[in-house]
Amino acid sequence: MKFASTRGAADALGFSGAVMEGLASDGGLFVPETLPDTSCKLESWRGLPYPKLCFEFLRLFADDIPASDLEKIVDLSYKKFDDAQIAPLSKLDEKTYLLELYHGPTLAFKDFALQFLGNLYEYLLEKSGRVINVLGATSGDTGSAAINGLLGKKNVSVFILYPDGRVSPLQERQMACTGAQNVFPIAINGTFDDAQAIVKELFARLDFKKQWSLAAVNSINLARILAQCVYYIYAYLKLPKEIAPSAKFVVPTGNFGNILAGWLAHKMGMPARGFCVATNQNDILYRLFKTGRYEIGKVEPSYAPSMDIQVSSNFERFIYFAENKNTAKVREIMSAFKSTGKWIFSSFNPDAFSSTRCGDSSIKNNIRLVFEKYGKIIDPHTACGFEELDGGVNVVLSTAHPAKFPEVIKSAISAEAKSPILEELKTRRIERLECKADADLIKQIIEKRGIRK
């Protein structure tokens, strides 16, 4: 299968090429040239263990990797999950289900994609005889999931910059207590924006970038989206047969990667009643789906920090399909949005999407209500999904383990969430580098510790 750019000005690539490139050369995102129809396969997939289902789905796309290799890569990617179901679907009442996506090693749904991506990178690098130095900045969660996906991988070194003292102590431990030799968490004396600016500057030094094969971790990699389609299909197949087609998936949303994957699974033949874009107070997508106006606002820090963004990088993929693959139109919209911070759709068709918005006080309230009603502790991101459930069958995606957010939980309810993984982390030694917020100093660190062929 070939993967085309949403902006239409780059060559289509095979699966491996698109994964290694990340971003297309015209600045667009890779999308499958044609979406396979899985509707005739769904029944034969019923009852498969999660990794097997994942393999059966991904082989429809990754046809340039021998099937037996792909199966090994997939199997390995779900080994570090602490629940045999990988993505257990728990029933709260007759019409409300919780899809638990927090059983991976960093206790958030990003593990589903980043564990797979890490193994895929290792495999493709080995085959091509290449090495990469991954460089990224994080304000908390993505960094730990990326690190965990890449730790101990051959031919990869990882440098993750974060603002010293401004990520939570648990988040720092998730990055700095891995014990891996190829991972370098770097505490920067500055803000997240300073860290981000250094990363941008080093990527812009093209000679340096080339010499050290710098690679990015970002939420737009094609492999991440495809790996995330799988748990929607898994949940669909776990639901009672008579209600499964009428389920609406409610998805706590930031960069639009998670929910886009569900919608793509739907376009490929998985029945669903719809997809609810559940935002926090950073509500650019909520406003879009209510009014057709896509207009950037100011990022306001919330209790659900992994959703604190205004520009949703994966949204371009939705625009591509919504505009019937008219790549000239996608270019026009993206370029207008980049220069003016807005785009007003003249006739906006939300397709299967609806949307809700959840402020901080509602986040706490929803944590309390769900605990009182069902005895289940949910995290602040998942709480956004409980904002406005309609009367139909709803599957709320639970994107993080509540133990990652002890303060908010404590202020909402009297119970406490615990995770053995996080408890164990507290006993380990922190190993981190410290550095002034200066691109040249970071460059020196990479030159000293990076990997080279």
Ligand X SMILES: *Cc1c(COP(=O)(O)O)cnc(C)c1O
For ligand X, which residue of 7, 103, 110, 317 counts as binding (CB under 6 A)? 110
Query: Per-residue b/e over 10-30, b at no fewer than 16 CB within 10 Å?
Result: bebbebbebbbbbbbeebbbb
Identity of the residue, 108 or 125, whose beta carbon is nearer to ligand X in the bound complex: 108
The site string for ligand X over 280-309 (x = CB under 6 A, - otherwise) reads: --------------------------xx--
Under a CB-based contact definition with an 8 Å cutoff, are residues 319 and 348 in contact? no
Q: Which residue is nearest to ligand X (CB)?
A: 255
Under the binding rule (CB under 6 A), the answer on residue 100 touching ligand X is no
Under a CB-based contact definition with an 8 Å cutoff, are residues 126 and 155 in contact? yes
Under the binding rule (CB under 6 A), the answer on residue 118 touching ligand X is no
* Cβ at position 19, least distance to ligand X in Å: 18
Under the binding rule (CB under 6 A), the answer on residue 133 touching ligand X is no
Site for ligand X in 401-440 (CB under 6 A): none
* Cβ at position 252, least distance to ligand X in Å: 5
Q: Can you give the length of the chain in residues?
A: 453
The number of beta carbons lying within 10 Å of the beta carbon of residue 440 is 10
Identity of the residue, 51 or 252, whose beta carbon is nearer to ligand X in the bound complex: 252
Under the binding rule (CB under 6 A), the answer on residue 173 touching ligand X is no
267 included as an active-site residue: no
Q: What's the one-letter identity of residue 17?
A: G
DSSP 131-178: -EEEEEE-SSHHHHHHHHHHTT-TTEEEEEEEETTSS-HHHHHHHH-S
Of residues 72, 79, 110, 241, which has the active-site annotation?
110
Under the binding rule (CB under 6 A), the answer on residue 184 touching ligand X is no
Site for ligand X in 345-384 (CB under 6 A): 381
The whole-angstrom separation of Cα 397 and Cα 252 is: 7
Under the binding rule (CB under 6 A), the answer on residue 262 touching ligand X is no
For residue 53, which of 266, 236, 327 has the smallest C-alpha distance?
236
Under the binding rule (CB under 6 A), the answer on residue 148 touching ligand X is no
Q: Within 13 Å of residue 95, how many CA atoms lie on the same side as its CB?
A: 9
Identity of the residue, 258 or 394, whose beta carbon is nearer to ligand X in the bound complex: 258
Identity of the residue, 212 or 353, whose beta carbon is nearer to ligand X in the bound complex: 353
The whole-angstrom separation of Cα 342 and Cα 337 is: 5
Task: State the residues that interact with ligand X by CB under 6 A.
Answer: 108, 110, 141, 219, 252-258, 306-307, 381, 399-400
- Residues with catalytic roles: 110
